[in-house]
Structure 1
Amino acid sequence: MKVIICGAGQVGFGIARQLASEQNDVTVIEQSPQLVQQISDSLDVRAIVGHGAHPDVLERAGAESADMLIAVTFHDEVNMTACQVAHSIFNVPTKIARIRSQSYLQPGFQTLFSQDHLPIDVIISPELEVGKAVLRRLAVPGAFDILHFAEGKVSVVGVLLEENCPIVNTPLRQLTELFPDLRSRVVGVVRNGDLFVPQSDDSMLVGDEVYFAADIRDVRRTLTIFGHEEAEARRIIIIGAGNIGLHVAQALEESHSGTRVKLIERDRAKAVYAADRLKRSIVLHGDGLDPELLHEAGISDTETLLTLTNNDQANILACLVAKREGCYRTMALINNTTYEPLMHSLGIDAFINPRGATVSTVLQHVRRGRIRGLQTVRDGAAEVIEAEALATSPMVGKPLREVALPRGILVGAIVRKGEVIIPRGETEVQVGDHVILFVRSDLVKKVEQMFRVSLQFF
């Protein structure tokens, strides 16, 4: 597949790295010579210096034969123009654009991005994707990550195993015997920074980060078994009233009438803007690192603190200050992935990586055919894929124990006619089933071949 990516920032770099690792033909366009040099030195891609919306630059990048253009520069207008040029001059089949300004995304302006106006096939909004991720994690306290599949019927949940976990050092096969009616299955484990897909003989240890797939109705019960019985937060402080913070506060007002939300914003204009658009939330103007302001906001009685500014260091420090002042749970927005291994050791309960959320959205549209859902985990180390089984799939019609799945691929759940099945060795996949798999990144191509989803592009 031939892909042109406009923009070599964190999102563009992440998409290029993922696609290049899968042997796609990737060309990156970037105005900064330093970023072009960096991406050329790091990845097996072609990188050129230029403006992503200029026809001559797109021509040099090979737009005439490109299958897809992904415009993820920092400027919405450049992204939109690049898609228009790719459509009008080069007839690129699929065009994806990152749109940050919420003004373009208001419901009344939906016809703007149509074939007759601005021909953009897929719009990705980092702010909205991150906002959704924050809300998902607020809804399931105790989890550091939660992903939804099969129209919300199946969740893949990440949880940290602590000293109070009653099932540490227990082989996974015994969990089935101990909880025969539990509709969940462990699909991935991160230990000492390394991710692996466990087998039935493996045990979980204190400090492991464990991913399990579960029927949405059994998520809470599974968390309890893993030693997490946290109650959903009713008193929340948000630091940062930008697009993400404001979106989260508005969503909480609409869907959680019993939740008390306070926002802290150091920029007065943003604070006033947020106060005008919120109905019940309290907006405080000041520095989220100021202990006196945090006391005024009631940090010691707060159940969850969300730090959603654009400054990673400020987000981390605010979480540490809040913990010291008595806040029960903290969640930080982290752009720099080098900080991720430090989160749990610093006492930060969960973090959100905007690049990961955006890359997942793009990859879902890159993987055409019968891929119905996709989310990356651990900065692309693995993917959770929802695929529809076709009659030609080698998985169909035989017990899973007889399917030669490589180690690194595990079926976490099957959805058949709206019902969730947690698979066992004797379970058979049927035509039309939606299969949720946890897949190590180097085996994603294998999954595409198994479900015959790569015929259109590869």
Structure 2
Amino acid sequence: MKIIIAGAGEVGFHLAKLLSYESQEITLIDVNKESLNYADTHLDIKVIRGDATSISILKEARIENTDLLIAVTSSETTNITVCVLGKRLGAKRTIARISNTEFVHHKDEIAFTTLGIDELISPEALAASEIELLLNQSAFNDSYEFEEGALTMFGLNLSRTAAFVGKTVKEAAEIFPEIHFVPIAIQRFGTQYTIIPRGDTQFKDGDSVVFITSEGGAEELCRMTGKVNAEIKNVMILGGSKIGYKSARDLSKTTNVKLIEKDRERAFDLADGLPKTLVINGDGRNVDVLEEENITDMDAFIAVTGNSETNIMSCLVAKSKGVKKTIALVENMDYFELSQSIGIDTLINKKLLAANNIFRYIRKGEVVAMTRLNNMNAELLEFKVKPTSKVCNRYIKDIDFPRSAIIGGVIRDGKGHIALGDFKISKGDMVVVCCLPRSIKQVEKFFL
């Protein structure tokens, strides 16, 4: 697959890095010499220095033979222009990064596809949505919805009091036959290895486990693991970034929100734009400021400043003050992979959220949605079953799936099902699959 990425910033470089691992043919365009030199020496890709809105630069990148054009520069105007030009010059599919979420909300009304833009993504809006979902399901440290919640993925750490610790997956299924959830990935405490569970896989104390749940599964999972899905009433947000603003705006509809912003002018602008949010001008790194604003009364603390270290440290302070739910925005992927041992409930990363959103266009088969699991070397993909798919009209137990992949659930006519061996897959079904990277190509073949 030939892919052009316009913009070698954080999102563009991260995408180029991930896609280069997939043996895709990548061309990266940017005006910044240093960014391109770094990408050129660290990745197996082609780089072109120049303005991506230049027709001659796009032609040099062989836009006429491009399968996917991704415009992720810091300027949404540039991104939209690049996609419009790219489509006219022959790009098969275009994706533009935008910061104005009005474009996403009104994309059908504006009909961006007629302009030449197939998809709009906003990393900031994706992060804000992720935060809202995590607070709605406060017992879990990772979550993702398929088809508006018909199936939901939840991640949590098992304690020794969980009902099925010490039992195998098969034993747990026999003891609790009517449950509406199934484990799809496990990471043992203190290891970096991801296990795709089978019937003989044993649940252990300290395991980080990802489950797929259908309707009612979240409540059952909480009950059986001793977790409490506490209602979040009071939220403190550190940082008036775009993510902080969007989170405060959405959360203040149902919760009491305090937002702390260091910059005085920005704090006044936020106060004008967020009438239901209490905006405080202060330095959230100062423990005295946090205590003055009653951090001990907060149910959740969200740190979304532009500094990863500040976000992590302030969340640790919040945790030490008894705050139940902490979420930190981090840019450094090394930190991101350490969330379980750091002691923060959830770390979120804009680059990874954007990459997940874009990656489904890279996968073969009709991939409707995709996410990478936090701290695990596994992907969760939602495929639409075609009449020609190898899985069509077959029972799950008869499908020769690789051992490093598992079907977590099936959505049929908008209803989620925890699909076990005697479930028959039909045309039009949405099938959610969890797999390790090495088995992705094998899995894709089942859905072509």
1:455 aligns with none
| Cα pair 2:187 2:376 within 8 Å, conserved | no
1:196 aligns with 195
Tell me, in whole angstroms, the C-alpha distance in 1 between the residues paired with 2:82 and 2:215.
Answer: 40
1:358 aligns with 354
| Cα pair 1:242 1:270 within 8 Å, conserved | no
Q: Is structure 2 residue 302 aligned with structure 1 residue 340?
A: no
More displaced, 74-83 or 262-271? 74-83
Measured against aligned partners, the alpha-carbon deviations of 1:73-107 in whole angstroms (never above 9, x if no partner) come to 1222222222232133x221211111124576674
How do residues 27-66 of structure 1 correspond to structure 2 at under 5 angstroms?
27-66=27-66
Q: Secondary structure at the match of 2:227?
A: coil
| Cα pair 1:157 1:212 within 8 Å, conserved | yes
Q: Is structure 2 residue 311 aligned with structure 1 residue 315?
A: yes
Cα distance change on mapping 1:328 and 1:52 into 2, 3 Å: same
Measured against aligned partners, the alpha-carbon deviations of 1:293-340 in whole angstroms (never above 9, x if no partner) come to 111211011111000111101101111222223322211011111002
Task: Report the Cα offset of residue 163 of structure 1.
Answer: 4.1
TM-score by length of 2: 0.93
Task: Report the Cα offset of residue 55 of structure 1.
Answer: 2.0
Task: Report the Cα offset of residue 137 of structure 1.
Answer: 0.3
More displaced, 297-306 or 96-105? 96-105
Cα distance change on mapping 1:221 and 1:35 into 2, 3 Å: same
| Cα pair 2:382 2:431 within 8 Å, conserved | yes
Cα distance change on mapping 1:108 and 1:338 into 2, 3 Å: closer
| Cα pair 2:194 2:376 within 8 Å, conserved | no
Cα distance change on mapping 1:153 and 1:65 into 2, 3 Å: same
1:18 aligns with 18
| Cα pair 1:262 1:282 within 8 Å, conserved | yes
2:323 aligns with 327
Q: Is structure 2 residue 173 aligned with structure 1 residue 176?
A: yes
Tell me the amino acid that sits aligned with residue 91 of structure 2. Answer: V
How do residues 191-340 of structure 1 correspond to structure 2 at under 5 angstroms?
191=188, 192-254=191-253, 256=254, 259-340=255-336
Cα distance change on mapping 1:369 and 1:410 into 2, 3 Å: closer
Cα distance change on mapping 1:143 and 1:46 into 2, 3 Å: same
TM-score by length of 1: 0.91
| Cα pair 2:365 2:445 within 8 Å, conserved | no
Cα distance change on mapping 1:108 and 1:172 into 2, 3 Å: closer
More displaced, 172-181 or 339-348? 339-348
Q: Secondary structure at the match of 2:246?
A: helix
Tell me the amino acid that sits aligned with residue 219 of structure 1. Answer: A
More displaced, 404-413 or 369-378? 369-378
| Cα pair 1:333 1:351 within 8 Å, conserved | yes
Task: Report the Cα offset of residue 45 of structure 1.
Answer: 2.0
Cα distance change on mapping 1:418 and 1:109 into 2, 3 Å: closer
Corresponding residue to 1:374 among 366, 370, 375:
370
Cα distance change on mapping 1:196 and 1:107 into 2, 3 Å: same
1:91 aligns with 90
| Cα pair 1:18 1:380 within 8 Å, conserved | no
| Cα pair 2:3 2:68 within 8 Å, conserved | yes
Q: Secondary structure at the match of 1:200?
A: coil
- Number of residues of Structure 1 aligned to a counterpart in Structure 2: 446
Tell me the amino acid that sits aligned with residue 365 of structure 1. Answer: Y
What residue ranges of structure 1 are gaps of 5+ in the alignment? Answer: 453-458
Task: Give % identity.
Answer: 30
Task: Report the Cα offset of residue 246 of structure 1.
Answer: 1.3
Tell me, in whole angstroms, the C-alpha distance in 2 between the residues paired with 1:85 and 1:21.
Answer: 28
| Cα pair 1:233 1:303 within 8 Å, conserved | yes
| Cα pair 1:356 1:379 within 8 Å, conserved | no
Q: Is structure 2 residue 135 aligned with structure 1 residue 138?
A: yes
Measured against aligned partners, the alpha-carbon deviations of 1:118-137 in whole angstroms (never above 9, x if no partner) come to x3221111111000000010
Task: Report the Cα offset of residue 239 of structure 1.
Answer: 0.6
Q: Secondary structure at the match of 1:391?
A: coil
Tell me the amino acid that sits aligned with residue 80 of structure 1. Answer: I
Tell me, in whole angstroms, the C-alpha distance in 2 between the residues paired with 1:153 and 1:108.
Answer: 24
2:397 aligns with 401
More displaced, 367-376 or 307-316? 367-376
Q: Secondary structure at the match of 2:166?
A: coil
Tell me, in whole angstroms, the C-alpha distance in 2 between the residues paired with 1:212 and 1:390.
Answer: 26
2:421 aligns with 425
Cα distance change on mapping 1:23 and 1:342 into 2, 3 Å: closer
| Cα pair 2:83 2:96 within 8 Å, conserved | yes
What residue ranges of structure 2 are gaps of 5+ in the alignment? Answer: none
Cα distance change on mapping 1:276 and 1:161 into 2, 3 Å: same
1:71 aligns with 71
Tell me, in whole angstroms, the C-alpha distance in 2 between the residues paired with 1:96 and 1:441.
Answer: 24
| Cα pair 1:274 1:283 within 8 Å, conserved | yes
Task: Report the Cα offset of residue 440 of structure 1.
Answer: 1.7
